[in-house]
Chains A and B, each alone.
Chain A
Amino acid sequence: MRPAVCFIKADSSETGSDMSDSVKFRFDVDGSNFTTAGQASVQVKKNLRELGIPAEAIRRVSIAMYEGEINMVIHAHGGVAEVEVFEDKIVIVLSDTGPGIPNIELAMKEGYSTAPDNIRSLGFGAGMGLPNMKRYTDGMKIDTELGKGTTITMVVNF
């Protein structure tokens, strides 16, 4: 199954930004299927290459977004991923309607994970994702509400 992909040429009124234009990608992330997790990140990597974004920025976006996308699938039953490309930065917004994160400080600690054993046998659940997302991006913000969901916004400058 392919993620819903749409290319939106956003104008300033839509983005609320004073940039003249930006390119925006939006994906639905299926939370019921571990096998397809990461499809959006793979597609974003391809799109950014086509846009001629510098390789190092693409790699940082790829890793941070992939970690976040996997988190949406294993911890939060999926959600929506949006990536907006500006002249000098890329903004990634990952929103889910999962359980929320009770203690952000704890969740940001390397090695802290609530992932069950079956996730570990699939190669994830070391508690490295969130700290890695922070390390690879120039800005990261976590908005979360218990029982409502989590929105993570990350910025990569180039």
Chain B
Amino acid sequence: MKISDIKTLLDAEVVCGEENLGHDVYSACGSDMMSDVLAYVKDQAVLLTGLVNSQVIRTAEMMDMVCIVFVRSKKPTPEMIELAKESGLVLMNTEKRMYEACGLLYKSGLVGNGVRHE
């Protein structure tokens, strides 16, 4: 699906990265622990999280992710938005909670594939 489909499915508000909404994405992950994202995620392009701090943006950038969805209407800080813009990341927020947001995306074909292959 396209990043713009995520926006539609989650009824989300785009905070920045509008110009990259046309990117194709195939898998996603949801976590509030950046430690786990760094250790277990592989090739997922989208991160759903309820955590709001600059490390969320840097973690996504280190992992070559392209989009972060903040659940439960969490709003990124101006500093985070600045960091995201520098690396072309799409940030959006949705009123939906983590479980529902992940479920909606999964049901529409955005898979997890998050298992680490040793």
Chain B positions within 8 Å of A21 at CB level: none
Interface residues on B, range: 20 to 34
Q: What mask results when residues 120 to 151 of chain A are scored 1 for a CB within 8 Å of chain B, else 0? A: 10111111110110000000000000000000
B36 nearest CB neighbor, chain A only: A126
Q: How far is the CA of A122 from the CA of B52 in the complex (A)?
A: 8
Q: Is the CB of B53 within 8 A of A63?
A: no
Given contacts A35-B53, A123-B53, A41 and B58 within 8 Å (CB-CB): yes
- Report chain B residues within 8 Å CB of A110: 39
Q: Whose C-beta in chain A lies nearest to the C-beta of B51? A: A123
Does residue A26 face the partner (Cβ distance < 8 Å to B)? no
Tell me the interface secondary structure of chain B in the complex: helix
Chain B 24-64 interface mask (CB, 8 Å, partner A; 1/0): 00000000111110110000000000010111101101111
Judge whether A59 and B38 touch: CB under 8 Å: no
Report which of B39, B53, B64 forms a contact with A132, defined as CB distance below 8 A: B39
- Contact between B32 and A42, CB atoms less than 8 A apart: no
Which residues on A sit within 8 Å (CB–CB) of B63?
59, 63
Contact B53 A122 (CB under 8 A): yes
In whole angstroms, what is the CA distance A38 to B57 when docked?
Answer: 10
Whether A35 pairs with B61 at a CB distance below 8 angstroms is no
